[in-house]
């Protein structure tokens, strides 16, 4: 199964392996330099899209990540109707018909608006 466990030390090693500054990495990620430095210290972690941008910027091979995402998609496709993002899953766990509806009504799945 796909497992992406990266630490702040990993971010730092990736950055230093290609001789980049924290300022450059922060610019690529679209965050302030201090935010990036916090990530390297283990305070918080970047979202997946920002992480991928930084890895690509550092010419890091992301083929394993892509393969892992494909495996996840296959794994979860059995649980969700991938053709229609607005409709609840037809493979329900709950026997209650509207268990995915919001408490306020059906507006959460209203596709007509």
pLDDT tens sequence across 11-37: 999 899 999 999 999 999 999 999 999
Q: Which residue has the higher pLDDT, 28 or 90?
A: 28
By residue range, what is the domain housing residue 49? 8-60
Is 13 inside any structural domain? yes
Residue 49 sits in the same domain as residue 30: yes
Q: Which residue has the higher pLDDT, 98 or 51?
A: 51
Instruction: Read off the CATH number of the domain in which 31 is found.
Output: 1.10.260.40
Residue 28 sits in the same domain as residue 45: yes
Mean pLDDT, residues 34-58: 91
Report the alpha-carbon distance of residue 106 to residue 100 in Å, rounded: 9
Residue 79 sits in the same domain as residue 55: no
Count of Cβ atoms closer than 10 Å to residue 107 Cβ = 9
Report the alpha-carbon distance of residue 106 to residue 21 in Å, rounded: 50
């Amino acid at each position: 199964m796909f497992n992406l466990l990266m630490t702040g030390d990993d971010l730092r090693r990736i950055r230093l392996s290609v001789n980049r500054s924290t300022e450059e990495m922060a610019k690529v990620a679209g965050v302030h330099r201090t935010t990036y430095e916090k990530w390297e210290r283990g305070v918080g972690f970047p979202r997946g899209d920002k992480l991928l941008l930084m890895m690509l910027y550092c010419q890091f091979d992301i083929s394993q990540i892509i393969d892992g995402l494909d495996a996840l998609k296959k794994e979860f496709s059995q649980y969700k109707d991938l053709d229609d993002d607005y409709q609840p899953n037809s493979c329900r766990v709950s026997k209650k018909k509207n268990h995915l509806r919001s408490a306020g009504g059906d507006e959460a799945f209203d596709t007509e608006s």
